[in-house]
């Protein structure tokens, strides 16, 4: 799953959610889909954390010089 892009993982997750909301299908298939959806959610969250960690915030010091610092990850 590591090679799966954020966009592809999100699209698959959305498809699974629609399928589960529809409520048609076998219980075993729904459980498997739920488990896959959980893994995709974790994957998307990790991709977002990676992207956020790469973002720097521009700062202005008291003397007017510009610098950067890592963005806060909440």
pLDDT 10s per residue in the chain (74 long)? 879 999 999 999 999 999 999 998 899 999 999 999 999 999 999 999 888 777 777 788 889 888 877 766 66
Q: What is the pLDDT of residue 74?
A: 60
Q: What is the pTM of this model?
A: 0.71
The CATH topology of domain 6-61 is Helix Hairpins (1.10.287)
User: Which residue's structure tokens are 């915030």?
Assistant: 57
- DSSP character for 62? T
Q: What is the pLDDT of residue 53?
A: 72
Residue 12 · residue 40 · CB < 8 Å = yes
Q: What is the pLDDT of residue 20?
A: 94
Burial of 31 (0-12, 13-18, 19+ CB in 10 A): exposed
């Amino acid at each position: 799953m590591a090679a799966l892009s954020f966009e592809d993982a999100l699209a698959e997750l959305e498809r699974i959610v629609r399928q589960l909301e529809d409520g048609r299908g076998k219980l075993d298939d729904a459980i498997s889909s739920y488990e896959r959806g959980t893994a995709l959610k974790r994957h998307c969250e990790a991709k977002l954390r990676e992207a956020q960690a790469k973002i720097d915030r521009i700062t202005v010091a008291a003397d007017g010089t510009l610098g950067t610092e890592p963005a806060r990850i909440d």
